[in-house]
Amino acid sequence: MYSMHGDPTCPVESFKFYLGKLRPELDALWQCPLDSFLDGNGAWYSKAALGRNTLASMMPDISRVAGLSQRYTNHCIRATSIQTLDRAGFEARHITRITGHKSESSIKEMRHIEMPKATPQKSICHFLAVFC
């Protein structure tokens, strides 16, 4: 994802907005939403983290509801993150620390999956943001 300065659908600004609505006293990125809230009151989430099963089904549910051409999972995001870090030149030992893999060999398999280069990917991202 790329920042699209001045665009109300900018993914970076959306993520910052999301972070601003979380409960700061809870150290969890995914928190349970409140049943109701007032827009000016800050947090939109409760002091409870989302459970493992809820998180596991989130990406497949989003894929289905959005009518995407394939079913995405949390692992898809993890694999893309590993590839991105590898292409950016980070050492495998540092990537394994972040991803929780036990060995460097377990992430090396993901290096061979081909992803679009950054320039076409960025163009596609901007095109879709404008087109949609």
pLDDT at residue 60, as a whole number: 92
- pTM, to two decimals: 0.54
Task: Spell out the domain ranges in the chain.
Answer: 1-50, 51-114
pLDDT at residue 107, as a whole number: 74
pLDDT at residue 65, as a whole number: 94
Q: What is the pLDDT along the chain (132 residues), one digit of tens a residue?
A: 678 888 888 888 999 999 999 999 999 999 999 988 777 668 899 999 999 999 899 889 999 999 988 888 888 877 888 888 888 888 888 888 888 888 888 777 665 555 545 555 666 665 555 554
pLDDT at residue 43, as a whole number: 87
3-state secondary structure the chain: CCCCCCCCCCHHHHHHHHHHHCCCCCCCCCEEECCCCCHHHCCCEEEEECCHHHHHHHHHHHHHHHCCCCCCCHHHHHHHHHHHHHHCCCCHHHHHHHHCCCCCHHHHHHHHCCCCCHHHHHHHHHHHHHHC
